[in-house]
Amino acid sequence: MAPRIAGVSLTDFGKHPERSSRELFTEAAGGALADAGVQADDVGVVYVGNFAGDLTEDQGHFGPMMADYMGARDVAATRVENACASGGVAVRQAVEAVASGMHEVAVAGGVEMMHNVGIADITDALANAGDNEYENEVGLTFPGIYALMARRYLHEFDAEHEHLAAVTVKNRENALDNPIAQFREPVTVAEALEGRPIASPLTLYDACPITDGAAAVVVTSEEFADEHGLDAPVRVAGTGQSSDTIALQDRPELARTRAAERAADEAYEYAGVGPGDVDVAEVHDCFTIAEVLAVESLGFFERGEGYRGAAEGETTVDGSIPVNTSGGLIAKGHPVGATGAAQVAELTKQLEGRHANQVADSTVGVAHNVGGSGASAVVTVLRSA
């Protein structure tokens, strides 16, 4: 009785400072309902992922606001906040609501406005995903925290910065054909390595951009999909979520994301599949090092071997395990609260055979969404047929 992903939609990802979360979310939710062939009247519950609306829009209480604007004023509506994993956790909440039998139709999505404030303010807002006293007070930013992880990874394993840069090159290439992607220009390894330093050893090309955008998915019960004749071949076969220390310094291994490993194990077990069954994955590449850690956490590569994925072509669209065929956070963009839902939306398109970078014969997809430096992780396994 696995819940179905009946419809998906993403807004344009990019620089839209003149817009607002209510408009972006409404566009995504309305698009997802239209894609599903479901009326707003049928929706029973709404989950909205958002991280920093209080800071960037001086607005909280996103749940009822978004439900109202999308045409479902009277439903149960809740904002979900797990930093950069907010959207993925919103989808998981919707899956739980439908799988439990509590609701037949749920809308889950996320939205973030980021370009409407200055770069110092948005950097400060994003730093709230870390430990204020132990990280921010000593001057750590999010690029800084991932740089600490990257430095340790390069020290422990046989990897160089150019292996990390290969992630950017691959994801930029993948975004060329994605109409909603923020960066649709290719970049070379040499250009990426020579980028402006943001936190050594990382350059601007190791980082995802600041992005305004929203994404939404419609989750329905199998019975609702069948009774209403919905064209919804993709089901949520498994979901997993785990947590870890909020401060990087409290983890015994600094170049490892154990919450993501636990979330992956749980999702695989739930779905009855293993890493070798996965045809395509969308992973949380907020920085290049994050994709390397992600493909290790998901079991596609042994620990310390993930750097080979992009560099050796195994994670390209025609590789053995295509990763981030959408362009990922690095090229598609990272509207923080929307990202996890955007991953599920992109994967659904893959499994329905309508993706811009279609992977042939893909039936099992995995989404990996991380909050902070790994304190929150949610993994979703999707299946068609």
CB 231 within 8 A of CB 36: no
Q: Which of 16, 163, 334, 368 is catalytic?
A: 334
Whole-number Å distance between alpha carbons of 253 and 358: 36
Give min distance, CB of 299 to other proteins, in A.
Answer: 25
Query: With b meaning 16 or more CB within 10 Å and e meaning fewer, what string describes 210-237?
Result: bbbbbbbbbbbbeebbeebebebbbbbb
Give min distance, CB of 294 to other proteins, in A.
Answer: 19
Residue 209 CB-half CA count within 13 A: 19
Residue 249 engages other proteins in binding (rule: CB under 8 A): yes
Q: Which of 74, 139, 229, 385 binds other proteins (CB under 8 A)?
A: 139
Q: What is the SS3 assignment for 223?
A: helix
Q: Which of 245, 265, 312, 352 binds other proteins (CB under 8 A)?
A: 245
Whole-number Å distance between alpha carbons of 372 and 313: 28
Of 345, 380, 297, 365, which is closest to residue 178 (Cα–Cα)? Answer: 345
CB 344 within 8 A of CB 199: no
Q: What is the helix (H) or strand (E) element at residue 23, kind and residue range?
A: helix 21-36
Q: Which of 30, 37, 96, 152 binds other proteins (CB under 8 A)?
A: 152
Residue 15 vs 184, nearer CB to other proteins: 15
Whole-number Å distance between alpha carbons of 350 and 36: 16
Residue 361 CB-half CA count within 13 A: 4
163 tagged catalytic = no
Residue 124 vs 222, nearer CB to other proteins: 124
Give min distance, CB of 373 to other proteins, in A.
Answer: 12
Residue 40 vs 55, nearer CB to other proteins: 55
Give min distance, CB of 365 to other proteins, in A.
Answer: 33
Residue 196 vs 354, nearer CB to other proteins: 196
* Residue 338: Cβ within 10 Å count: 35
Residue 59 engages other proteins in binding (rule: CB under 8 A): no
The total number of residues written for the chain in this structure = 385
Residue 286 engages other proteins in binding (rule: CB under 8 A): no
List of E strands, the chain: 4-10, 45-49, 76-80, 105-112, 197-199, 202-203, 213-220, 234-243, 280-283, 364-371, 376-384
Binding mask 166-205 for other proteins (x = CB under 8 A): ------------------------------xxxxxxx---
237 residue type, one letter: A
Rg (CA), the chain: 19
Q: Which of 16, 84, 115, 355 is catalytic?
A: 84
How many of the chain's residues bind other proteins (CB under 8 A)? Answer: 41
CB 86 within 8 A of CB 50: yes
Give min distance, CB of 15 to other proteins, in A.
Answer: 18
Handedness of CA 3, 100, 86, 289 (dihedral sign): negative
Residue 374 engages other proteins in binding (rule: CB under 8 A): no
Residue 140 engages other proteins in binding (rule: CB under 8 A): yes
Residue 1 vs 120, nearer CB to other proteins: 120
Q: Which of residues 17-56 bind other proteins (CB under 8 A)?
A: 54-55
Residue 73 vs 155, nearer CB to other proteins: 155
Q: Which of 109, 143, 333, 337 binds other proteins (CB under 8 A)?
A: 143
Listed ranges 84-92, 146-154, 271-279, 295-303: which one lies at the site for other proteins (CB under 8 A): 146-154
Q: Which of 74, 100, 120, 185 binds other proteins (CB under 8 A)?
A: 120
User: Where does this chain bind other proteins (CB under 8 A)?
Assistant: 54-55, 117, 119-121, 123-125, 127, 133-141, 143-144, 147-149, 151-152, 155, 196-202, 245, 247-250, 252, 254
Active site residues per annotation: 84, 334
